[in-house]
Structure 1
């Protein structure tokens, strides 16, 4: 038998095929985020929610009406909905049974997972940009509907920290998606577990230090105004390790080692 001949029952090596670049994989993952009906409507809802928030702020007399204030207000709906998009970016592979196809085309699962993380970060940036557009529209309309002038002031600290916090939030959704691999379970757990955790650490005074160091909602609150200080950065890193790094590492290893059905 020639050394170049393989038995019939053995897989033949594929030659001359260049694996897709990481940039290509990120583009594919971004397309997946709006290819599904749920993802497409979620993106539309994020934009509409940002517009709704600034519209309400525009017509409420007591609400501040500067670009920085509008920008801060819009982060609430964006921060709530973006993590769901991050969850779906991972779990849709299993709910739609495309994981086997994906990992067959790209056998190195770590490259696919890395692309999902990068795509989620891009979505976080796009969410902030959408909020900025809605805030800019409200700022332009402020002198039209109120007696206040346009105020475009926005500190670099606020812009940078808002951008970072939304990336953190969407990556926390990705982490829960990797850990649980089920859209309903991951979404419910993502909202229920941190909420229960926040309630407990706020009710028990002895757990104040836990709230200050491990409650992601508490730690990130100053970031919407660009006011995170030196200790705040350490607290952010600690809470991110609990709510993002830990579940993402466990989920990553699970996906790498498990059989894909």
Structure 2
């Protein structure tokens, strides 16, 4: 009689895959270094404002975190290890769930790391420049900013799951903000489409901790468009895809 693989073991294996690979290690180092450098540089230039410094880290996060999610769900297919993985655990849905959780947790950990860096940097720069530190930031804004980073990773996971091709998914995720900025200038229709379908624009009220009912509706629509639909189609594709 065989016993099923515990989910925590699948989760542990997928978490190791995320950070043990060469690309995973490089992305982690770049994420840490970029966070430290961007926060420090911004504090020297614009002064010790905690909210501004934390938001600065989000610029790098919006680029790197989706890539981490994409590489997580496409790695099995690019390295042709899916056959081994699904042979050891034939229930593909459990494997996919174990793959998606580590990048989402990483987004929360990266957000916490940025906050832990920004606080002492704010205090140190305020002391060095002999100016008052700006600590004004609400817990709701911190939660919203963290949630936005998680949504960015979820978008990367969804697009990667749908395409199962890392370069194509990365190009789409990185080019999308630029494309939406163009669409927003195409009159009233383009502006409306951007408000409802651009995840970055729709998540802005969440990031600053000031959402209304209309903001929530627009965020929900963009999440359905960029996360729910691609993830659903991607999961269906993986469950039915022939592995060789």
Distance 1:67 1:197, change over 3 A: closer
- From 81, 94, 101, give the equivalent of 1:111: 94
Give TM-score, length-normalised by structure 1: 0.87
Distance 1:139 1:216, change over 3 A: same
In 1, the alpha carbon distance for the partners of 2:203 and 2:30 equals: 23
SS state at 1:97 partner: coil
Q: Which residue of 2 aligns with 1:214?
A: 197
Checking the alignment, whether the CA contact within 8 Å between 1:78 and 1:131 is kept in structure 2 is no
In 2, the alpha carbon distance for the partners of 1:32 and 1:216 equals: 28
In 2, the alpha carbon distance for the partners of 1:27 and 1:203 equals: 47
Checking the alignment, whether the CA contact within 8 Å between 1:177 and 1:186 is kept in structure 2 is yes
Q: Which residue of 2 aligns with 1:12?
A: none
CA deviation profile, 1:173-202 (whole Å, cap 9, x unmatched): 001111111111211122224532442233
In 2, the alpha carbon distance for the partners of 1:83 and 1:241 equals: 17
Tell me which protein shows more helix as a share of its residues: 2
Does 2:158 correspond to 1:179?
no
- From 197, 219, 233, give the equivalent of 1:250: 233
Q: Name the Cα RMSD after superposition.
A: 1.6
Q: Which residue of 1 aligns with 2:19?
A: 34
In 2, the alpha carbon distance for the partners of 1:178 and 1:35 equals: 21
- From 184, 194, 207, give the equivalent of 1:224: 207
Q: Which residue of 2 aligns with 1:167?
A: 150
Distance 1:38 1:229, change over 3 A: same
Larger mean Cα displacement after TM superposition, 131-140 or 39-48:
131-140
Q: What pairs with 1:51-66 in structure 2 (closer than 5 Å)?
A: 51-60=36-45, 63-66=46-49
Does 2:134 correspond to 1:144?
no
Distance 1:250 1:132, change over 3 A: same
Which residues of structure 1 form unaligned runs of 5+? 1-14
Give TM-score, length-normalised by structure 2: 0.93
